[in-house]
Amino acid sequence: MHYAIPHSVSALLARQMLAAKPMGQKLPFVTTLHGTDITLVGLDRSYLPITRFSIEQSDGVTAISQYLRERTLREFDVKNNIEVIYNFVNCDVYVRDSGAEHRRAEYAPNGERILVHLSNFRPVKRITDTIEILDRVRKKISAKLLLIGDGPDRSRAEWLAVQKGIHNDVLFLGKQDNVHEKLALADLILMPSELESFGLAALEAMACEVVPIATRVGGVPEVIEHGKSGYLADVGDVDTMARYAIELLSDDSRLREMGKACREVAQSRFCSSKIIPQYEEFYRRVLERSS
């Protein structure tokens, strides 16, 4: 049975119930650490005992990045071995299909460049930084910004776009069922987050040959190689992120080359066909130890 830490209480209750079963019917538990489960403890220490107990009682523990593994070991002082198995993307679904260029006209009817941001619009995602970046980019290049998702900071972003006088170039698309179709329309994805345990949105975009410009935080450098499969900057450094965007958008061949490099990274390291077997092998080892 596989649980993520946010469900630790229900996992422990289930384990206690299963413990009453006859010998030979023990069901091993695997916990996967995704990020918020660990960083939440930094905000509210009352979660620490139950989270630590959940990790220590697990038969196997995985984390989605080296950063998250190291942070968990440091903050929780657990003795468990934590195996890193990265997040993954379905490379057959997240792909820049032949119709993407035609569909761009819906959002960029005059051939504007397209930037995109995908998140839950929480403060940690720093969505207003994407407005600041677009404002700087538009002074050099005609561009649109697609914002996919929704959340508490949407109104702040809307207000800032109006204040900057660029609200007609900022398109709030809300939550989308087929995110890959929208990502594939973009030239660049902006991910100015304060913290990311992995950076799945960047990976999904990379699989669609969309170049990420992100912050050098958490597990993001494990996904994006600066200067080769995207660009990294410090948190809040919108000037540098805008400069990277302008440089890329001004050089078609470089943009296409880096987009291909992004796709290659997704295919060679993070496709579901490569990561899922790692989980299967990990589960087999856990079962063997528990038998």
Say yes or no: 69 and 185 in one domain: no
pLDDT at 93: 96
162 plus 236 within the same structural domain: yes
Name the domain count of the chain.
Answer: 2
Q: Are residues 59 and 104 in the same domain?
A: no
> Which residues of the chain, if any, have pLDDT below 70?
1-25, 37-44
pLDDT score, position 75: 84
One domain, residues 80 and 142: no
User: Residue 247 has which token pair?
Assistant: 């440089």
pLDDT at residue 150 in the model: 97
Closest CA to 184 of 214, 212, 204, 213: 204
Establish if 93 belongs to a structural domain.
no
In-domain check, residue 207? yes
pLDDT score at 196: 95
Reading the block at residue 149, the tokens are 């998702």
CATH of the domain at 7: 3.40.50.2000
Q: What is the pLDDT of residues 156-193, one digit of tens each?
A: 999 999 999 999 999 999 999 999 999 999 999 999 99
Please check whether residue 261 lies inside any domain of the structure.
Answer: yes
Instruction: Tell me what pLDDT residue 99 has.
Output: 84
Same domain, 205 and 262: yes
pLDDT confidence of residue 37? 64
Pick from 218, 222, 247: nearest CA to 235: 218
pLDDT score at 41: 57
Please check whether residues 141 and 199 belong to one and the same domain: yes
Q: Which domain holds residue 240?
A: 100-270
Both 135 and 239 in one domain: the answer is yes
In this structure, the answer to whether residues 57 and 113 fall within a common structural domain is no
- Residue 78 lies inside a defined structural domain of this protein: yes
129 and 244, same domain (yes or no): yes
Q: Are residues 282 and 219 in the same domain?
A: no
144 and 245 housed in the same domain: yes
Q: For residue 94, is it within any domain?
A: no
Q: Report if residue 254 sits inside a domain.
A: yes
- What is the predicted pLDDT for the residue at 43? 52
CB 111 within 8 A of CB 223: no
| 147 and 265 both lie in a single domain | yes
Q: How far apart are CA 215 and CA 159, in angstroms?
A: 24
What is the value of pTM for the model shown?
0.89
